[in-house]
Amino acid sequence: MFASVLIANRGEIACRIARTAKALGMRTIAVYSDADAGALHVRLCDEAHRIGPAPVRESYLVAERIIEVGRRSGAACVHPGYGFLAENAEFAEAVATADMVFVGPPPAAIRAMGLKDAAKTLMEKAGVPVVPGYHGERQDPKFLKEKAYEIGYPVLIKAVAGGGGKGMRRVDRHADFETALEGASREATSAFGDGRVLVEKYITSPRHIEMQVFADGHGNAVHLYERDCSLQRRHQKVIEEAPAPGMTREVREAMGRAATEAAKAVGYSGAGTVEFIADGSKGLRPDGFWFMEMNTRLQVEHPVTEAITGLDLVEWQFKVAHGEPLPLAQNAIPLNGHAVEARLYAEDPDRNFMPSTGKLLALELPQGKGIRVDTGVTQGSEVSPFYDPMIAKVIAHAPSRDDALANLATALEHTVVAGPRSNVSFLAALCRAEEFRAGHFDTGFIDRNLQALTKGGHVVDHAAAAAGATRLARRGQEMLAARTKGADAAGTSPWDVNDAFGFGAPRSVPMPILVDGERLTARIVYNHDGLSATIDGHPAATEARFVDDGDDAVYVLTGGHQTRVQLADHAVDADHGSSDGAVRAPMHGKLLALFVEKGAPVTKGHRVAVIEAMKMEHTLTAPHDGTVAEVSAAVGEQLAEGSPIVLIEQTE
Ligand code: ADP
Ligand code: ADP
Ligand code: MG
């Protein structure tokens, strides 16, 4: 086996790779950006080398610098993880040129599968069923629109260089085609530096089912069964499971054959995933699935496959890269029970899943029989705006699907995240959703059930807010008590309510607070036992946990939800939308498009700008009717959170 490995990645996947590498006796070499100097993957590896500032283009995507670290540290091989340089054929070549082994497929195979249009053409030739559509050279909008009409709506426009669900637009009506094309192409240019697209039939009742494949340098190719990744939002996976509900032996054989054929057609070796879209409207059928793309790397959701097969996929990757044959033949690969993975993200389901950053003030990840957690952070870590805001993957493995889902839901309900918002209660609700539990779902499931899954959007939890207000008021009272022990007892503090005591009956005073940014008034009631707060008559929740932050705020945790309570007097307005007519960057990001210029009339909700942040596009709209009075940012500019973009003056 290799003596050492350079792990060209960060976060949970870097930690995951280090675990197996260590078990195989390898020296582990980490790389890190300035933002990751104290990160878990750095602490876990035997040595770590700085490769640059926080932005990925200056660190994790700089091939030369990573290869230089490999040379200097004498790494025998390089594992790229997923994302970053994992599917970059030039990087794989450069690794080989520097006399290290790339733990992944041959560069030619990466290239063959790199662009979706060329891959589809190649698969068609190999006899693998592909989604019907146009994946040729021509890109003029008029021609593509005609093709869309021929294919028949709904169609899907996809960036040929796409990945991570970006550069993709579903179009239902001929009239909407141009706008969708423009959006897909712009997103693709910005994300991949390649605006070309393909157009394909949008499969109805789509289920995303993918096959894990493995090939070696000795002509063997096997599959390690399928994963169902149909629970998605914006074409990105949220929950993945193996095996796929409703899978039959016949369909699995057909899909497995197509997947291994696909791998063989490009001279594959190592781990890969062949993604299919299946028509789920009448159950899975051997002739009802089509090739979408092949991901030539280890996949985020590989743990569910590890759970049901009992195999270590990273170990297999190292073995194959080292020139060994695949450890098992097709018929010797086990399949036991059912596994489900949930991607725990720092994002806010109540606010359209907006990524959320900041310090993880509290983080308690679940443990238990059949529960696995893969993470790259610990309590106190910072979720930075520079990288994917995934906190952890939580995986449950049990004899049956029902048990696995129930155990995963329970595990998520016992997970504590404070500081950044998280999708933990949304994930738990998904695991408990009856229709999903019954196996009735497709890729539209989350969108269709969003209201129920997010409990109808943001609602203030009055009881939690009252509990937070109580805590703040008590804290203030203690501070005051400490201060008044000294000489001067200033009389202007909201805590200066000593006159409330000694008159027999409980007295109450109003206390302005901000609850998740919303202004409310708590009533602080003083009685002989001390004080407590109510909000709109709601008493404080009794089953709550508190996490204090340094900034006069308290996080109240109740059943997977967090409510942030802050004294209004001390609060900075956290709302970047606006009462003042300014449209501001909701977070750190790049201005992609501006749709208005100075003097232009706009109506409330009018699209004014698009900002790219956290690898997603966010459309910003006018807060009210009016006229554009000022434009204070330019397309292409990097904007700090809260910086103004345009000012809209209200018309009388
Ligand atoms: P999967 O099909 O496994 O979800 P994706 O194509 O969505 O794979 O990407 C895998 C992961 O790689 C993502 O979850 C993301 O964290 C990471 N990733 C994708 N693109 C990039 C990128 N350009 N830079 C950094 N990380 C990326
Ligand atoms: P990416 O490289 O971004 O992962 P994919 O081609 O794998 O792009 O597509 C991402 C997701 O979009 C799929 O998982 C699936 O949910 C949906 N999708 C892709 N193609 C189709 C299609 N033809 N019909 C319906 N849904 C599709
Ligand atoms: Mg995909």
In the chain, the domains with their CATH numbers are: 4-103 (3.40.50.20), 132-201 (3.30.1490.20), 205-336 (3.30.470.20), 337-459 (3.30.470.20), 462-570 (3.30.700), 582-650 (2.40.50.100)
Which atom of ligand 1 is closest in space to residue 388's alpha carbon?
Answer: 16
Which atom of ligand 1 is closest in space to residue 390's alpha carbon?
Answer: 16
Q: Is residue 297 annotated as part of the catalytic site, yes or no?
A: yes
Where does the pLDDT of residue 620 fall: very low under 50, low under 70, confident under 90, or very high at 90 and above?
confident
Q: Does position 220 have pLDDT exceeding 60, yes or no?
A: yes
Structure tokens at 532: 């407590």
Query: 554 alpha carbon to ligand 3 midpoint, in Å?
Result: 40
Between 334 and 576, name the one with better pLDDT: 334
In short, whether 238's Cβ falls inside 6 Å of ligand 2 is no
Contacts of 444 (CB under 8 A, 6+ apart): 205, 206
Q: In one letter, which amino acid is 188?
A: A
Which atom of ligand 2 is closest in space to residue 203's alpha carbon?
Answer: 24
In short, whether 131's Cβ falls inside 6 Å of ligand 2 is yes
What number is the average pLDDT over the span 426-442? Answer: 97
Position 623 scores a pLDDT of 84
Asked if residue 481 lies in contact with residue 502, where contact means CB atoms within 8 angstroms, the answer is no
Between 167 and 651, name the one with better pLDDT: 167
Round to whole Å and give the CA distance between 545 and 634: 44
In short, whether 617's Cβ falls inside 6 Å of ligand 2 is no
Asked if residue 435 lies in contact with residue 442, where contact means CB atoms within 8 angstroms, the answer is no
Strands (E), 254-295: 270-279, 289-295
Catalytic member of 27, 207, 233, 297: 297
Question: Which residues are placed with Cβ below 5 angstroms of ligand 3, an ion?
Answer: 275
Query: Nearest Cα to 307, choosing from 339, 272, 331, 271?
Result: 339
Q: Does position 362 have pLDDT exceeding 50, yes or no?
A: yes
Q: Does position 51 have pLDDT exceeding 80, yes or no?
A: yes
Q: Does position 497 have pLDDT exceeding 70, yes or no?
A: no
Query: Nearest Cα to 203, choosing from 130, 136, 147, 254?
Result: 130
176 φ/ψ sector (left φ>0, alpha ψ -120 to 50, else beta): alpha
φ, ψ (nearest 5 deg) of residue 317: -60, -45
Q: Does position 616 have pLDDT exceeding 80, yes or no?
A: no
Q: What is the mean pLDDT of the chain?
A: 91
Which residues is 609 bridged to in the sheet?
Answer: 594, 620
Please list, residue by residue across 369-401, b when 16 or more beta carbons sit within 10 angstroms of its beta carbon and e when fewer do.
ebbbbbbbbebebbbbbbbbbbbbbbbbbbeeb
In short, whether 49's Cβ falls inside 6 Å of ligand 2 is no
CA torsion, ordered 71, 72, 76, 82, to nearest 10 deg:
-80
Round to whole Å and give the CA distance between 369 and 404: 11
Position 573 scores a pLDDT of 36
Q: Which ligand is nearest to the CA of 240?
A: 1
Q: Which ligand is nearest to the CA of 132?
A: 2
Round to whole Å and give the CA distance between 521 and 589: 34
In the block, tokens 């109808």 appear at 456
In short, whether 291's Cβ falls inside 6 Å of ligand 2 is no
Nearest CA to ligand 2 atom 17: 235
Q: Does position 172 have pLDDT exceeding 50, yes or no?
A: yes
Round to whole Å and give the CA distance between 561 and 200: 40
Round to whole Å and give the CA distance between 563 and 529: 26
Q: What is the pLDDT of residues 560-597, one digit of tens each?
A: 788 999 887 543 333 444 567 889 887 788 898 898 99
Q: Does position 645 have pLDDT exceeding 60, yes or no?
A: yes
Q: Does position 491 have pLDDT exceeding 70, yes or no?
A: no
Position 503 scores a pLDDT of 47
Query: 87 alpha carbon to ligand 1 midpoint, in Å?
Result: 10
Position 481 scores a pLDDT of 72
In short, whether 275's Cβ falls inside 6 Å of ligand 2 is yes
Asked if residue 66 lies in contact with residue 86, where contact means CB atoms within 8 angstroms, the answer is no
Position 499 scores a pLDDT of 47
502 φ/ψ sector (left φ>0, alpha ψ -120 to 50, else beta): left
Between 608 and 275, name the one with better pLDDT: 275
Between 573 and 253, name the one with better pLDDT: 253
What number is the average pLDDT over the span 203-229? Answer: 97
Between 378 and 606, name the one with better pLDDT: 378
Query: Nearest Cα to 128, choosing from 263, 322, 272?
Result: 263
Which atom of ligand 2 is closest in space to residue 290's alpha carbon?
Answer: 23
Q: Which ligand is nearest to the CA of 204?
A: 2
Angle between helix 89-97 and 63-73 (nearest 10): 30
Between 267 and 506, name the one with better pLDDT: 267
In short, whether 208's Cβ falls inside 6 Å of ligand 2 is yes
Q: Is the pTM of this model over 0.85?
A: no
| CA 492 to the chain's CA centroid | 46
In short, whether 292's Cβ falls inside 6 Å of ligand 2 is yes
Where does the pLDDT of residue 606 fall: very low under 50, low under 70, confident under 90, or very high at 90 and above?
confident
φ, ψ (nearest 5 deg) of residue 380: 100, -20
Position 456 scores a pLDDT of 66
In short, whether 170's Cβ falls inside 6 Å of ligand 2 is no
Angle between helix 313-321 and 11-23 (nearest 10): 70
Span between the terminal Cα atoms of the chain, in Å: 75
Round to whole Å and give the CA distance between 619 and 64: 35
Where does the pLDDT of residue 45 fall: very low under 50, low under 70, confident under 90, or very high at 90 and above?
very high
Q: Does position 234 have pLDDT exceeding 80, yes or no?
A: yes
Q: Which residues' Cβ are closer than 6 Å to ligand 1?
A: 56, 82-84, 163-164, 236-237, 295, 299-301, 388
Query: 126 alpha carbon to ligand 2 midpoint, in Å?
Result: 21
In short, whether 162's Cβ falls inside 6 Å of ligand 2 is yes
Cα-trace Rg, the chain: 27
Structure tokens at 225: 């069964």
Q: In one letter, which amino acid is 239?
A: I
Neighbours of 293 (CB within 10 A): 23
What number is the average pLDDT over the span 317-341? Answer: 98
Position 489 scores a pLDDT of 45
From 212, 300, 375, 384, the mutation candidate for ligand 1 (largest count of ligand atoms within 8 A of CB) is 300
Position 485 scores a pLDDT of 63
Round to whole Å and give the CA distance between 92 and 507: 72
Q: Does position 194 have pLDDT exceeding 50, yes or no?
A: yes
What number is the average pLDDT over the span 10-23? Answer: 98
Show the 3-state SS of 243-260. CCCCCCHHHHHHHHHHHH
Nearest CA to ligand 2 atom 2: 163
Query: 296 alpha carbon to ligand 1 midpoint, in Å?
Result: 12
Position 561 scores a pLDDT of 81
Position 302 scores a pLDDT of 98
Asked if residue 194 lies in contact with residue 161, where contact means CB atoms within 8 angstroms, the answer is yes
In short, whether 191's Cβ falls inside 6 Å of ligand 2 is no
Instruction: Give the percent of the chain with pLDDT over 70.
Output: 93
Q: What is the pLDDT of residues 406-431, one digit of tens each?
A: 999 999 998 999 999 999 999 999 99
Q: What is the pLDDT of residues 206-215, one digit of tens each?
A: 999 999 999 9
Which atom of ligand 1 is closest in space to residue 299's alpha carbon?
Answer: 3
Q: Which helix (H) or strand (E) holds 225?
A: strand 221-233
Q: What is the pLDDT of residues 73-127, one digit of tens each?
A: 999 999 999 999 999 999 999 999 999 999 999 999 999 999 999 999 999 999 9
Asked if residue 530 lies in contact with residue 475, where contact means CB atoms within 8 angstroms, the answer is no
Query: 527 alpha carbon to ligand 2 midpoint, in Å?
Result: 61
Which atom of ligand 2 is closest in space to residue 202's alpha carbon?
Answer: 24
Query: 387 alpha carbon to ligand 2 midpoint, in Å?
Result: 23
